[in-house]
Amino acid sequence: MRVSVVLCTHTLDRYDDFTEAAESVQSQTYDDVELVLVSDGSDAVFEQFRTDFGEDDDVTLVRLTENQGLLKARNAGAEAASGEVVAFLDDDAIAAPDWIERLVRGYEEKNALAVGGKMVPQWVAGKPDYLPEEFYWLVGVTHRGFGPDGDRDAVGEVRNTFGSNISFRRDVFLELAGFDTEIGGRQGDANLQGGETELCARLRQKHGQSVWYNPRAEVAHKVFEYRTDPKWLLDRAFWQGYSKRAMEVLIGESSDEESDFLGALFGEYTPDRIAELLKDPSVEKGVQLLMLFVLTAVVGTGYLYGMTKYR
């Protein structure tokens, strides 16, 4: 089973990180891998691709003449790919050596249509002691409470995984017309997110399957310093709440996992944190508990704001 990994970028600003992502794909324990590199509207990036990867038979280069955004770039990469499976990786992520091998097992053993894995953090500027694991999703990392029955280390079906660690049978992906490229620009709404959520909802509606989740198929996401700034996190939380409301309206069934997460957050995780704080007090535990409430409130505010536009 040939697997094509689509990796997109649009600038040379973080090309070293992009190269590290590409090399992690080329260093996989699985043999039959095609690396599809998409330059999203940058001639300079495409020329660098040709210099660095142009002579590799297992690399396909794609150039978009104009910057069209990540979802369109990923769709273009999938169309150019030759694999039976198309997987997606971000340009600031690093795949574990056995990532593809573990994804493939989901197709071979479960006859899955889509397979994804766990995102783990690579703290570039150090781990922030104020960010609770329940909100790691704000920085693109698999959070506490994700996964089958809320267990991020359990194998099973989930609605969707992060877009930097997800794969599809290519024929199914193309049949579904790939990612909805209007997600980020629907009604001129640049803050709307959730491309993989929307696609996986259509997958379930048409084929009755969700994403098979294997937590051992790991991808490390680089969390740069700006993403750990409290102001950035609060802004991110607001627009994530806004997007969750939009996805709820546009997709209809997308709110189940959020409802389950909120139930666990207030019914299990918050009481656990309070008990642990009382048992063994520390500033870090106190701040994380406070941030749990603050971030929940900000996400909720974004959700309520979204209700004024998406009814």
Residue 61 lies in a domain: yes
Q: Which residue has better confidence, 242 or 27?
A: 27
* Residue with tokens 């979204």, as numbered in its chain: 306
Three-class SS of residue 164?
A: coil
- 141 falls in which pLDDT band (50, 70, 90)? very high
Residue 252 lies in a domain: no
Residue 224 lies in a domain: yes
Burial class from Cβ neighbours inside 10 Å (0-12, 13-18, 19+) for residue 100 reads buried
- Does position 161 have pLDDT exceeding 70, yes or no? yes
Element (H, E) at 217: strand 211-223
**Mean pLDDT in the chain?**
92
Three-class SS of residue 282?
A: coil
pLDDT tens for each residue of 2-54:
999 999 999 999 999 999 999 999 999 999 999 999 999 999 999 999 999 98
User: Is pTM, for the whole model, over 0.75?
Assistant: yes
Q: Which of 85-89, 238-242, 247-251 has the lowest mean pLDDT?
A: 247-251
Percent of the chain scored above 70 by pLDDT?
95
Percent of the chain scored above 90 by pLDDT?
79
Phi, psi dihedrals of residue 27, rounded to the nearest 5°: -105, 20
pLDDT tens for each residue of 263-304:
888 899 999 999 999 999 999 999 999 999 999 999 999 989
| Domain, as residue range, for 90 | 3-228
- Does position 128 have pLDDT exceeding 70, yes or no? yes
Residue 173 lies in a domain: yes
Residue 157 lies in a domain: yes
Element (H, E) at 268: none
- The pLDDT score that the predictor gives to residue 282 is 95
- Does position 187 have pLDDT exceeding 50, yes or no? no
Whether the CA torsion 262, 267, 273, 277 is positive or negative: it is positive
Three-class SS of residue 59?
A: strand
HSE (CB half, 13 Å, CA atoms) of 65?
Answer: 0
Three-class SS of residue 8?
A: strand
* Helix-, strand-, coil-residue percentages of the chain, each rounded to 5: 50, 20, 30
What is the distance between the alpha carbons of residues 99 and 85, in angstroms, rounded to a whole number? 13
**How many structural domains compose the chain?**
1
Q: How far is CA 27 from CA 96, 97, 101, 217, in A?
A: 9, 6, 12, 15
Write out the DSSP string of 2-59.
Answer: -EEEEEEE--STTHHHHHHHHHHHHT-SSS-EEEEEEEES-HHHHHHHHHHHTT-TTE
**136 CB neighbour count, 10 Å cutoff:** 21
Whether the CA torsion 133, 136, 137, 141 is positive or negative: it is negative
What is the distance between the alpha carbons of residues 276 and 218, in angstroms, rounded to a whole number? 29
Three-class SS of residue 168?
A: strand
Residue 218 lies in a domain: yes
What is the distance between the alpha carbons of residues 99 and 116, in angstroms, rounded to a whole number? 10
- The pLDDT score that the predictor gives to residue 60 is 97
CATH code for the domain of 169: 3.90.550.10
Quote the distance between the C-alpha of residue 300 and its chain's center.
21
- Does position 119 have pLDDT exceeding 90, yes or no? yes
Residue 148 lies in a domain: yes
Residue 159 lies in a domain: yes
- The pLDDT score that the predictor gives to residue 306 is 87
